[in-house]
Structure 1
Amino acid sequence: MELFYFLVFGALTAVVAALELSKTGKDRMNTSSAFNAFKNNYILVYSLMMAGDWLQGPYVYYLYSQYGFGKGDIGQLFIAGFGSSMLFGTIVGSLADKQGRKRACVTYCIAYILSCITKHSPEYKVLMLGRILGGIATSLLFSAFESWLVAEHNKRGFEQQWLSITFSKAIFLGNGLVAIVSGLFGNLLVDTLGFGPVSPFDAAACFLAIGMAIIMSSWSENYGDPSENKDLLAQFKAAAVAIASDEKIALLGAIQSLFEGSMYTFVFLWTPALSPNEEEIPHGFIFATFMLASMLGSSIASRLLARSSPKVESYMQIVFVISSASLLLPILTNFLTAPSKVKRGSISFSGCILVAGFCAFEACVGIFWPSMMKMRSQYIPEEARSTIMNFFRIPLNIFVCVVLYNVDAFPMTVMFGMCSIFLFVAAVLQWRLMMIAESQKPKPQDWTALERSTEAEPLHI
């Protein structure tokens, strides 16, 4: 493995360690022991849930190819997963608000475990069923857990600012450290121990089962809208009205769809971008490096969220601009550097630049998740939180399905350019959100003027 990869990984490791060890009192909040126990319980469960997800990711495509399916069939299976999330996501989100978020989290575990079990079958229909179950589970993962956390946090009377601690720690561990360890553990199962490409799915099912047991034994139930006479259609209408009537909610949904759509497109594009001539690149090590960059971003976010200034609405504009610039790099290197003509050689100079730029993008992803969670906790109404959050995922899933269907129809530079434009639009929408939030802040009373006017008024008896 080339020295360059070790240098990048080592540099990111040193920066993350320095950031974590150098935190001062300003970067931390004084919290209660009850909150710390609650936070640690949630982070443990969330880390187990993300381990169940991360273990599967690197081996889905590989497993399907081992079963003899071609690129077209595998593409259809992936589209089925995103399509399932789009079609059923809002329904399961509404059921989570109505029937209980704890039940929805348990349902996520069951659906994903069943999806893992289907991976043992080489039958196309069985695998398609697994993708549909996985799509439903994904919708619950990105809505029910956050909805349960926010509602339970408020129900227990903890300070609102403490939510950002849980968000940033959950992303730091669940989307960073757990992802790295899961990648290494999956590699151990498949390559070192020789258990085959289905073994990571069995391990994922075990982690999900452990997490489900913790949820069932230690979590209490909470609901969005407790009214018994409101059916699913009424919940959909209420969520749609909330989005249409509050521009802040609509802006959040658009920002989330634009960023996550670009992020999922990046997941499909980074490998061919770094190896246009089939260069030998260590995919697993690069993936671990990206996750380390994401940890760096979440560490930065924890510092930013712990302070009163700058506001999350303000610094996220900068994050979106940086992420937009980082995905412009493949276009710039394509024009400014001569393409390599060496097949299956080592990584090129432009490839090194792209690795650095992609790490910057992953750092932005690490900042995005806890910051977006913070904004959603502020602006989305509690009674329809899961429903609205899954409404946000509808345009996202449509976008990803379109990209997957046409991934070979457009040059890679066009795809990266489209993502860069989307991220710049997200920065503009974030500016608009900040302006609205600032304008709706209650203005401080001019107590001096009020006191003078009171003194000037005659006293009537």
Structure 2
Amino acid sequence: MELFFLVVFGAMAAVVAALELSKNSKDRINTSPAFNAFKNNYLIVYSLMMAGDWLQGPYVYYLYSTYGFGKGDIGQLFIAGFGSSMLFGTIVGSLADKQGRRRACVTYCITYILSCITKHSPEYKVLMVGRVLGGIATSLLFSAFESWLVAEHNKVRIASVPFYGIDVFASVPFSHFLFSRFSILAARGFEQQWLSLTFSKAIFLGNGLVAILSGLFGNLLVDSLSLGPVAPFDAAACFLAIGMAIILSSWTENFGDPSENKDLLTQFRGAAIAIASDEKIALLGAIQSLFEGSMYTFVFLWTPALSPNDEEIPHGFIFATFMLASMLGSSLASRLMARSSPRVESYMQIVFVISSASLLLPLVTNFLVAPSKEKGGSISFAGCLQLLGFCTFEVCVGIFWPSIMKMRSQYIPEEARSTIMNFFRIPLNIFVCVVLYNVDAFPITIMFGMCSIFLFVASILQRRLMAISDKPKMESWTAMDPEAEPLNG
């Protein structure tokens, strides 16, 4: 392996270790033992869920190719996955608000396990069913777990609330009692700032450390133990089953809006009205779609960008380097969110500008560095520059995830959280399907240039979100209930 790759990986690992070890009291949030137990339980489950996802990623294309399918057939399978996430996944994910987020998380485990089982069949129709199931599971992964966490984090226990002479004992979201005329005598809702700690740790572990370990474990199963390309999918199913057992044994159920008279169409209509009537929610959805669309496009294009002439590059090692960069980003995000300044709405403007510049590198190097026409060999000088830019983009990805989670927890209403989050994924999935379908129609540099423009637009929208986020909320609260009174003690 070339020295350059080892130096980049080593430097990234050293920076991550230094950041984590150098945290002081200003970079840490003092929490309670009850919260730590709650957080650790969620992190264990989330890490197992992400292990089930990461184990599959590097081997999906490879497995399909070993079954004898060509690029066109494999492309259709991938399009089916994203299309399923957009259509069926949106419906199933939105049911979490009404049927329960814990139940939706269990559904994710079952659906993804079934998807893993279909990988044992070389039949195209069976594999297509697996992609549809995988698409549904993806929507649940990126909506149900976060929705459960936010609701459970903010849940308060109402004890001895006077209601027509009857004492009521119930667990409800704090927002439902924000202007209640009753008194809360006992509360266990955790501080809002602590939520950002769970988000940053989840990304650090789930999208960083677990991804690296999953890649190494998958390589051990396939290459070292020669168990074949289907072995990582079997291992993923085992991790998902363990996580499901923990969910069933330790998680409580929570809902968005459990009203019995609301059908799915009414939920969709309510979510659409919420997005259209609140500029902050609409901006957040546009920002998320622009960034994630660029991110998924990057996932498809980084390999041909670094090896345009079939240069020999260590794909697994580069992937691990990207995950280290993402860990670096999440570590930076945890420091930023532990402090009152700068606010997340502020620093994310800079993150989007940096990510835009980093994905512009392939276009810039194409003009400044003469492209090599020699087939094979080691990575070119332009490739080295692009790799550094791609690592910078992955750092931005690591900052993006916990930061967007925090903003979603602030701006998306609890009663329709999963529904709105799945609405955000509709334009994303359309965009990815279009890119997959036309991936050979445009040069790679043009595709990266398009992503760079999208990210710059995201920075502009983030600036607008920053400008309107400081507006007082009292007007909207008063409009909802003019006779509302503040809480007593």
Using structure 2 for the length normalisation, give the TM-score. 0.90
- Counterpart in 1 of 2:407? 375
Q: Find the residue that maps to 1:229 and give its secondary structure.
A: coil
Shift, 1:442, TM fit:
7.3
CA distance in structure 1 between the partners assigned to 2:63 and 2:409 by the alignment: 38
| Equivalences for residues 318-329 of structure 1 within 5 A | 318-329=350-361
- Counterpart in 2 of 1:424? 456
Shift, 1:94, TM fit:
1.9
Match of 1:272 among 284, 304, 321: 304
Q: Which AA in structure 1 matches 2:287? A: I
- Counterpart in 2 of 1:448? none
CA distance in structure 2 between the partners assigned to 1:75 and 1:108 by the alignment: 24
- Counterpart in 2 of 1:18? 18
Q: Deviations over 1:203-243 (max 9, x none)?
A: 00000000000000000000000111111011001100000
CA distance in structure 1 between the partners assigned to 2:348 and 2:210 by the alignment: 25
| Equivalences for residues 55-454 of structure 1 within 5 A | 55-155=55-155, 156-440=188-472
Q: Which AA in structure 1 matches 2:2? A: E
CA distance in structure 2 between the partners assigned to 1:309 and 1:100 by the alignment: 35
Q: Find the residue that maps to 2:469 and give its secondary structure.
A: helix
| Equivalences for residues 35-46 of structure 1 within 5 A | 35-46=35-46
Alignment length (residue pairs)? 443
Runs (4+) of structure 1 moved beyond 2 Å?
438-443
- Counterpart in 2 of 1:451? none
CA distance in structure 1 between the partners assigned to 2:34 and 2:206 by the alignment: 22
CA distance in structure 2 between the partners assigned to 1:328 and 1:308 by the alignment: 32
Shift, 1:93, TM fit:
2.1
Structure 1: segments with no counterpart, 5+ residues? 444-461
CA distance in structure 2 between the partners assigned to 1:233 and 1:400 by the alignment: 26
Identity %: 87
Q: Deviations over 1:409-428 (max 9, x none)?
A: 00111100000000000000
Compared CA separation, residues 101 and 441, structure 1 to 2 (3 A): closer
CA distance in structure 1 between the partners assigned to 2:365 and 2:290 by the alignment: 24
- Counterpart in 1 of 2:158? none
Q: Deviations over 1:327-370 (max 9, x none)?
A: 00000000000111221110111111011000000000000000
Q: Which AA in structure 1 matches 2:138? A: T
CA distance in structure 2 between the partners assigned to 1:296 and 1:93 by the alignment: 30
Using structure 1 for the length normalisation, give the TM-score. 0.95
Q: Which AA in structure 1 matches 2:29? A: M
CA distance in structure 2 between the partners assigned to 1:439 and 1:110 by the alignment: 43
Q: Which AA in structure 2 matches 1:51? A: A
CA distance in structure 2 between the partners assigned to 1:266 and 1:173 by the alignment: 22
Shift, 1:90, TM fit:
2.1
Q: Find the residue that maps to 2:441 and give its secondary structure.
A: coil
Structure 2: segments with no counterpart, 5+ residues? 156-187, 476-489
- Counterpart in 1 of 2:162? none
Q: Which AA in structure 1 matches 2:337? A: L
CA distance in structure 2 between the partners assigned to 1:4 and 1:201 by the alignment: 32
Q: Which AA in structure 1 matches 2:427? A: P
Q: Which AA in structure 1 matches 2:19? A: L
CA distance in structure 2 between the partners assigned to 1:442 and 1:172 by the alignment: 36
Q: Find the residue that maps to 1:438 and give its secondary structure.
A: coil
Structure in which a larger fraction of residues adopt helix: 1
Q: Which AA in structure 2 matches 1:19? A: L
CA distance in structure 2 between the partners assigned to 1:437 and 1:44 by the alignment: 33
CA distance in structure 2 between the partners assigned to 1:437 and 1:224 by the alignment: 24
Q: Find the residue that maps to 1:358 and give its secondary structure.
A: helix
CA distance in structure 2 between the partners assigned to 1:266 and 1:326 by the alignment: 11
Q: Deviations over 1:428-456 (max 9, x none)?
A: 0000000001234779xxxxxxxxxxxxx
